[in-house]
Amino acid sequence: MGIQDIQQILESNLDSKNLSKLTALNNEKLHKFIADAIELAKPKSVFVCTDSAEDIAYIRNRAIELGEENKLAIEGHTYHFDGYFDQGRDKSVTKYLLKPGQDLGERINSTDAASGTAEINSLMKGIMAGREMLVCFFCLGPTNSDFSISCAQITDSPYVAHSEHILYRSGYEQFKTLGSSPEFFRFLHSEGELENGVSKNIEGKRIYMDLNNEIVYSVNTQYAGNTVGLKKLALRLAINRSSKQGWLAEHMFVMGAQGPGGRVTYFTGAFPSACGKTSTAMLDGQTIIGDDIAYFRNIDGQVRTVNVEKGIFGIIRDVNTDDDPVIYDVLNEPGEIIFGNVLVKDGKPAWLGMGEELPTDGVNYCGQWSPDQKGPDGKATTASHKNARYTIAISSLANRDPMADAPEGVVVGGVIYGGRDSDTCVPVEQAFNWTEGIIAKGASLESETTAATLGAEGVRSFNIMSNLDFLSLPLGRYVQNNLDFGNSVKNPPLIFSVNYFLKGADGEYLNGMRDKMVWILWAELCVNGDVEKIKTPTGYIPKYADLKKLFKEKLDKDYTEAEYVEQFSIRTPALLAKIDRIEKIYKEQVPDTPALVYEIFTKHRDALNAAAKKYGECISPLTLDA
């Protein structure tokens, strides 16, 4: 398609006002992307959204006018329902489009680009007939920053566009700075034919990602994880781009730990599901920059990071006044919030674990709800879906960090990896150095399943840096990229592991939910050289006196030496078994594993065996501190 053909398509399908908005962005690749989408999807009209409050309000209002969102009693609150079979990320139809000879490994779902693109084109042919196409612009990371990635989103769902305006920084003006550059991400989505307000043709649901052309296609789905392209779909594009350019895109929160004398030390953290990620990012008395995705760059010899997003698409289950008071307060105050797949009664949302008795009737994602409601598949339903969500702006949180939108980002003091582990790792440990931290903590991250969710407690699942589901390059290369990045600076961040789920011989947890504050604040002291530490075979652990002081000062809790010994004893058989498990995965599933990975496994194995021979299989921290 030539320039004149592109111009003719745009002039024929956009009114003068929207055409003027688009031509202000003098980018041939962008214009062709939109013209191609128009020719494929055949919309009735096209709306181009700028950064103006008027344009953003238009999209918000269209979501309500078309019934994709409905108003709730509190001003600014709306709710949205997804289809019964469209309630989460769908891995089975999420694939990478690869060119001939390109291989990401057997564990990654992929298809060849030619057939995949042809399939998408077939599914999207004429799909927007009679509907309005929305063209939106966003920026991943702060605008006017070294971290900025411009994005163009095309969708026919005002709910999707509204969600993105809450979650991401508007990027129309940022897009102007690109000029003719082709360096931007593209997203094309259609929810398809609707029935009762939700995507009807779910058998045609597809989420395809073309890494080589940095474009994502999504069709016949509304669920945000499949349709809000800038979230985990863009993370995959960013991981691929960062691998080529020497920076990192990670599935991590960014938070500020408040140290002595008003000092703030910034941490990032990767935790698999149900391991404490959100509760760590939202620790009482600390500040949050972001809860989900972070970019890392070496800027002037320092590792700096930003929150890619400006909002939270959070799981609402168990958000209550005791466990998540800051978020709970926001969810009950006027402001722009989208509730997804909750129970609605008399204009009020209700969800599982909200700390109040749920209504006995109402409307939910299946229709009119009652306790004996069955879904289309005949299975019992819950009042609110277990994966029900809330979409809010981080700016609405009382604990938002003042550096949340800083274009230069923040200096990373420490990186935290946490998993659910009942019997192996101590509550907090600092790695000896960046290399050992990446390999023995991040690249060895695993988490136990729980009986409540899967019926089998203690089944360990490997999840490298909590990013396994989103990797778009061979796993070995991903490990090497992390190693190289940290070693590109003179003083890389310290790396820590945390474990909030250690259990005693009686099967009870050894720590309370609030104890994690002590582990994080001890790490803050480590980063700033304020504490001495005990050397173990695999890293450094706290001295009892320092923890005793923190527990008293921060939690008003008397922390006993007996508790300390039980929690921080080195369990050599369990640690050795973990090394064996992880090493086996790399040997069997990761043919490009860097040799250094095995060297660190051997180093830790030898150190643990030597310590066990000298002190016994379970080593008290007091013995090592003697």
Instruction: Specify the CATH number for the domain of residue 184.
Output: 3.40.449.10
Is the domain of 240 the same as that of 261?
A: no
Is the domain of 486 the same as that of 550?
A: yes
Residue 482 lies in a domain: yes
Which residue do the tokens 């004149």 mark? 4
Q: What percent of the chain has a predicted confidence (pLDDT) above 70? A: 99
Query: Residue 379: helix, strand or coil by DSSP?
Result: coil
Catalytic residue (one of 275, 366, 526, 618):
275
pLDDT at residue number 52: 97
- To the nearest whole number, what is the mean pLDDT of the chain? 94
**Separation between Cα atoms, residue 269 and residue 496, nearest integer Å:** 9
Residue 30 lies in a domain: yes
Which neighbouring-strand residues pair with 393?
Answer: 311
Residue 520 lies in a domain: yes
pLDDT at residue number 453: 42
**Residues 398-436: tens digit of each pLDDT:** 999 999 999 999 999 999 999 999 999 999 999 999 999
Is the domain of 299 the same as that of 235?
A: no
Residue 86 lies in a domain: no
Residue 84 lies in a domain: no
Is the domain of 331 the same as that of 383?
A: yes
pLDDT at residue number 459: 83
Question: What backbone phi and psi angles, to 5 degrees, belong to 150?
Answer: -75, 145
Is the domain of 32 the same as that of 154?
A: yes
150, pLDDT greater than 70 = yes
Closest of 624, 449, 615, 439 to residue 542, by C-alpha: 624
**Residues 443-490: tens digit of each pLDDT:** 999 998 754 444 455 689 999 999 998 999 999 999 999 999 999 999
269 in Cβ contact with 255 (< 8 Å): yes
420 is in which domain, residue-wise?
249-310+404-624
pLDDT at residue number 118: 96
Which neighbouring-strand residues pair with 190?
Answer: 219
Q: pTM of the full predicted structure?
A: 0.95
Q: Any idea what the CATH number is for the domain that residue 443 is in?
A: 3.90.228.20
Q: Which of 8-22, 79-93, 118-132 has the lowest mean pLDDT?
A: 79-93
The domain total for the chain is: 3
Average pLDDT in the 35-61 region? 97
Is 136 known to be catalytic?
no
9, pLDDT greater than 90 = yes
pLDDT at residue number 32: 97
Residue 7 lies in a domain: yes
**Residues 154-197: tens digit of each pLDDT:** 999 999 999 999 999 999 999 999 999 999 999 999 999 999 88
Is the domain of 144 the same as that of 230?
A: yes
Q: What is the Cα 45 distance to its own chain's centre?
A: 34
Radius of gyration of the chain (CA): 25
Residue 127 lies in a domain: yes
**Residues 532-561: tens digit of each pLDDT:** 999 999 999 999 999 999 999 999 999 999
Q: Which of the listed residues 379, 396, 413 is the one where a domain comes to its end?
A: 396
| Number of residues that make up the chain | 626
In this structure, what token pair is assigned to residue 283?
A: 């620790």
pLDDT at residue number 148: 97
pLDDT at residue number 450: 58
In this structure, what token pair is assigned to residue 272?
A: 């698999």
Query: Residue 286: helix, strand or coil by DSSP?
Result: coil
In DSSP notation, 592-608 reads T--HHHHHHHHHHHHHH
**Residues 68-114: tens digit of each pLDDT:** 999 999 999 999 999 998 888 888 899 999 988 887 877 778 889 99
**Separation between Cα atoms, residue 613 and residue 573, nearest integer Å:** 12
Is the domain of 254 the same as that of 216?
A: no
Average pLDDT in the 568-574 region? 97
What is the chain's percent helix, strand, coil content, to nearest 5?
Answer: 35, 25, 40
Is the domain of 459 the same as that of 392?
A: no
For residue 248, count other CB atoms closer than 10 A to its CB. Answer: 24
pLDDT at residue number 456: 58
Is the domain of 441 the same as that of 491?
A: yes
Burial readout 272-301 (b: 16 or more C-beta within 10 A, e: otherwise)? bebbbbbbbbbbeebbbbbbbbbbbbbeee
Query: Residue 60: helix, strand or coil by DSSP?
Result: helix
Q: Which of the listed residues 396, 414, 445 is the one where a domain comes to its end?
A: 396
Is the domain of 355 the same as that of 295?
A: no
Is the domain of 488 the same as that of 590?
A: yes
Q: Which of the listed residues 345, 365, 396 is the one where a domain comes to its end?
A: 396
Q: What percent of the chain has a predicted confidence (pLDDT) above 90? A: 88
Is the domain of 224 the same as that of 256?
A: no
**Residues 498-528: tens digit of each pLDDT:** 999 999 999 999 998 899 999 999 999 999 9
Average pLDDT in the 225-247 region? 95
pLDDT at residue number 322: 85
Residue 480 lies in a domain: yes
